[in-house]
Amino acid sequence: MTMVCLSDFEEYAKQHLSKATWDYYEAGADDCCTRDDNLQAYKRIRLRPRILRDVSLNDTRTSVLGTEISFPVGIAPTAFHCLAWHEGEQATARATEAVNTCYIASTYSTCSVEEIAAAAPNGYRWFQLYLYRDRKLSEQIVRRVEALGYKALVLTVDVPYTGKRRNDIRNQFKLPPHLMVKNFEGMFQEQTSTQEEYGIPANTLDPSISWKDVCWLQSLSRLPIIIKGILTKEDAELAVEHGVQGIIVSNHGGRQLDGVPATIDCLPEIVDAVQGRVEVYMDGGIRTGNDVLKAVALGAKCVFIGRPAVWGLAYKGEEGVREILQILHDEFRLSMALSGCRNVAEINRNLIQFSRL
Ligand code: HOC
């Protein structure tokens, strides 16, 4: 089968994954308005290309937190990669190392942070963190990723509770017995609750987290902190005031609060609010290199893909994730050339036809 675009991988994954696994990855909250709008929003944006600019040698490289990556696309934190491919997150880590981009490993990985680091020793990685009611759990995992050379902590702030994903409830979705959240192996032994969410003890995440916990995290670790899940200029401003190093504009792939705007529609107000004081990234609905171009033009330093990486895993493990990234890279290079951009710095808001938005 010739894979031409990311939706070919989506179709393959749909046909080959178990229904419960497919439903879990595909899920959006409630009516899935936000999940679907994340994709549709790119299609509403029109471009203003420039011509006759010698695009024979266009350069797709950029940087995140001062580290060069091959193009402005990294892998977002998504849970349970072993559901899609037996090597799970280790395969994802190898693929991102091979193409020289950034991988944000999820707390809810089915390989441990140690196994991920060992699989791709030269890979550039951040760690996605939730804060637990038991802060000792959070502290222990921070210490481990620091020691392993992860380069930033990505604090996810949009899950005080898990959004309502109807098919997961219908399927009573949980990890099969041979898989577990490897990062917490043996750590939940003192849990008294018998209730579980996705096979993880329920009520472990702390819904009371607030900005003071960002300060707590800063007192704990010298790693850069990136807040994932900001959708408004007010919160972006607070993030800057609290001294974080980056923001990921994210609505959790539409899996949390349904009815919030597509991330690409939230991006400009956040970029304007922070005025270059911190790097702004985004995830949500990126399916083509053309989408990447639009996000970068609207101010994203880098975008992160979630579900497509899982489809790549389902297709061929490491090779499948590499193919996904290669297709996006080739499409991005082509979109740059066709719009007259010779390097990433030349991609800016002049490319966007605002009268149509
Ligand atoms: C047990 C809590 O990010 C998702 C993941 C995990 C969400 C929290 C699970 O499925 O969106």
Pairing between β-strand 246-249 and β-strand 225-230 as defined by DSSP bridges = parallel
First to last CA, the chain: 38
Confidence of residue 190 (pLDDT cuts 50, 70, 90): low
Q: State the closest ligand 1 atom to the C-alpha of 200, by its place in the atom list counted from 1.
A: 1
Catalytic residues: 252
Distance CA 218, CA 267 (A): 25
Q: Tell me, what's the pLDDT at 194?
A: 59
Ligand 1: which residues within 6 Å by Cβ?
79, 108, 159, 162, 197-198, 200, 252, 255
Residues 282, 297: contact at Cβ < 8 Å?
Answer: no
Residue 263 lies in a domain: yes
Q: How many domains does the chain have?
A: 1
312 exposure class (CB count in 10 Å sphere: 0-12, 13-18, 19+): buried
**Mean pLDDT of the 303-315 span:** 99
Residue 128 pLDDT greater than 60, yes or no: yes
Residue 191 pLDDT greater than 60, yes or no: no
Residue 80 pLDDT greater than 70, yes or no: yes
Tens digit of pLDDT for each residue in 99-108? 999 999 999 9
Pairing between β-strand 62-64 and β-strand 200-201 as defined by DSSP bridges = unpaired
Residue 199 pLDDT greater than 90, yes or no: no
Q: Tell me, what's the pLDDT at 356?
A: 66
Distance CA 257, CA 28 (A): 9
Question: Cα dist. 243→214, 227, 238, 274, 279 in Å?
Answer: 9, 11, 9, 12, 12
Residues 340, 55: contact at Cβ < 8 Å?
Answer: yes
Cα(162) to centroid(ligand 1), Å: 6
Question: In testing the pocket of ligand 1, which one of 137, 158, 252, 307 has its CB within 8 Å of the most ligand atoms?
Answer: 252
Residue 226 lies in a domain: yes
Residue 193 pLDDT greater than 80, yes or no: no
Average per-residue pLDDT for the chain: 96
Distance CA 146, CA 137 (A): 14
Q: Tell me, what's the pLDDT at 198?
A: 85
Q: Annotation-wise, does 193 bind a ligand?
A: no
Residue 232 lies in a domain: yes
Cα(25) to centroid(ligand 1), Å: 10
Residue 146 pLDDT greater than 60, yes or no: yes
Distance CA 179, CA 233 (A): 39
Q: State the closest ligand 1 atom to the C-alpha of 156, by its place in the atom list counted from 1.
A: 3
Domain containing residue 142? 6-44+63-186+196-329
Higher pLDDT, 193 or 72: 72
Q: Tell me, what's the pLDDT at 258?
A: 99
292 exposure class (CB count in 10 Å sphere: 0-12, 13-18, 19+): buried
DSSP 8-state assignment for residue 198: B
Q: DSSP string spanning 124-138? A: EEEEEE--BSSHHHH
Confidence of residue 201 (pLDDT cuts 50, 70, 90): confident
Q: State the closest ligand 1 atom to the C-alpha of 130, by its place in the atom list counted from 1.
A: 8
Pairing between β-strand 153-156 and β-strand 302-305 as defined by DSSP bridges = unpaired
Q: State the closest ligand 1 atom to the C-alpha of 165, by its place in the atom list counted from 1.
A: 10
Residue 317 lies in a domain: yes
Distance CA 119, CA 115 (A): 6
Residue 32 pLDDT greater than 60, yes or no: yes
Cα(209) to centroid(ligand 1), Å: 16
To 5 degrees, how large is the angle CA 104–CA 105–CA 110?
A: 155
Cα(72) to centroid(ligand 1), Å: 25
Helix or strand holding residue 282 (H, E): strand 279-283
Q: Annotation-wise, does 198 bind a ligand?
A: no
Question: In testing the pocket of ligand 1, which one of 129, 162, 283 has its CB within 8 Å of the most ligand atoms?
Answer: 162
At 193, list the tokens: 């609750």
Nearest protein CA to atom 10 of ligand 1, as residue: 79
Residue 342 lies in a domain: no
Confidence of residue 196 (pLDDT cuts 50, 70, 90): confident
Q: Annotation-wise, does 286 bind a ligand?
A: yes
Nearest protein CA to atom 7 of ligand 1, as residue: 162
Range with the poorest average pLDDT among 40-49, 63-72, 104-113, 348-357:
348-357
Residue 56 lies in a domain: no
Nearest protein CA to atom 9 of ligand 1, as residue: 162
Q: Annotation-wise, does 252 bind a ligand?
A: yes
**What is the CATH number for 173?**
3.20.20.70
95 exposure class (CB count in 10 Å sphere: 0-12, 13-18, 19+): buried
Q: Annotation-wise, does 355 bind a ligand?
A: no
Q: Annotation-wise, does 24 bind a ligand?
A: yes
Distance CA 157, CA 137 (A): 17
The candidate with the shortest Cα–Cα distance to 224, out of 140, 127, 107, is 127
Q: State the closest ligand 1 atom to the C-alpha of 106, by its place in the atom list counted from 1.
A: 3
Cα(332) to centroid(ligand 1), Å: 30
Q: Tell me, what's the pLDDT at 195?
A: 74
Sign of the alpha-carbon dihedral angle for 328, 333, 338, 340:
positive
Cα(108) to centroid(ligand 1), Å: 7
**Mean pLDDT of the 79-103 span:** 98
Residue 123 lies in a domain: yes
Residue 99 lies in a domain: yes
